Amino acid sequence: MQRFFIPGDWIKNNQVVLGGEVVHQIRNVLRLAPDDAITLLDNTGWEYEAIITDIAKDRVEAKVAHKSFSQTEPRTRITLYQAILKKTRFEFALQKCTELGIANFVPILCQRCVAIWNPSNLQRWQQIIREAAEQSQRGRLPTLHKPVNFIDACSRASTNSFVAWEGECDTGIRELLKKELKGGRINKSAINLFIGPEGGFTPQEIEKARGMGVTPLSLGRRVLRAETAGLVAASIIFYELGDLGG
């Protein structure tokens, strides 16, 4: 069933009036018709199964048939602090990590960032996140924050925070998670994960992060691309905390 994130005030007394881009999707792209079923999400965690009753040029009307709370959101909320990458690489990271279940995205600016931050990217990034969330049957849209400097980000997210770094040889991610869980030092409900740019973090950045309470960890012997490292690390975290694989 096709899913759409919509403003909550479009739903009133089980009657729904859809507008904007959703109308184009229903009418021209999907070519749905009256009596077809769709799923609507108001970004609060609720899902509304609705039946289309009328389709016009600038609006679609529907009636809510059933309401339920989404069961697809991870219990562990991961905030991904992803260094800004070249266009397609950053967009790949946003798309795939949204599908995986990331709760928040914070683009970060690092010493070795090659890509230049452009404010006009935010709108496109939001659209990528929305489409990925709908496709993967998310119950909520991940929040996309404005970019911040890496060191400033570390100072804001010092607790329950980890930075993937290829220079870390002693602390692997699985071993660290098991140790932290056993010692009761990790908050399962909220984890901060830092991923660097194409050239990686500098040793100086890592030392500053460490001094602010951000723990460096290794993702293994092979060096991953910047756009896949976050996906791999978050997958391991979700799995170890019971939010992936059943």
Task: Output the DSSP codes for 188-225.
Answer: TTEEEEEE--TT---HHHHHHHHHTTPEEEB--SSPPP
Separation CA 123–CA 239 (nearest Å)? 31
> Can you say whether residue 189 is alpha, beta or left, with left for phi > 0 and alpha for psi between -120 and 50 degrees?
alpha
User: Same structural domain for residues 56 and 146?
Assistant: no
User: Same structural domain for residues 46 and 97?
Assistant: no
Write out pLDDT tens, residues 199-243: 999 999 999 999 999 999 999 888 899 999 999 999 999 998 888
pLDDT category of residue 47 using cuts at 50, 70 and 90 = very high
Phi then psi dihedrals of residue 158, to 5 deg: -75, -30
Last residue of a domain, one of 25, 46, 69: 69
Q: CA-CA-CA-CA torsion for 124, 135, 103, 112, nearest 10 degrees?
A: -50
User: Same structural domain for residues 32 and 139?
Assistant: no
Last residue of a domain, one of 36, 69, 102: 69
Write out pLDDT tens, residues 160-210: 899 999 988 888 998 888 887 777 777 778 999 999 999 999 999 999 999
Separation CA 217–CA 164 (nearest Å)? 5
Last residue of a domain, one of 69, 91, 106: 69
The per-residue b/e assignment along 214-231, b for 16 or more CB within 10 angstroms, e otherwise, is bebbbbeeeebebbebbb
Average pLDDT over residues 28-49: 96
User: Same structural domain for residues 188 and 130?
Assistant: yes
Write out pLDDT tens, residues 97-117: 999 999 999 999 999 999 888
3-state percent helix, strand, coil for the chain, nearest multiple of 5:
35, 25, 40
Separation CA 132–CA 177 (nearest Å)? 28
**Domain extent for 25:** 3-69
User: Same structural domain for residues 132 and 49?
Assistant: no
User: Same structural domain for residues 126 and 204?
Assistant: yes
Looking up residue 198, the CATH number of its domain turns out to be: 3.40.1280.10
User: Same structural domain for residues 99 and 221?
Assistant: yes
Question: Does 146 fall in a domain?
Answer: yes
Contact 67, 37 (CB under 8 A): no
Q: What radius of gyration do the chain's Cα atoms show?
A: 20
Domain total for the chain?
A: 2
Contact 74, 97 (CB under 8 A): no
pLDDT value at position 246? 63
Q: Can you spell out the DSSP letters for 114-154? A: -SPP-TTHHHHHHHHHHHHHHHTT-SSPPEEPPPEEHHHHH
Task: Provide the whole-model pTM.
Answer: 0.91
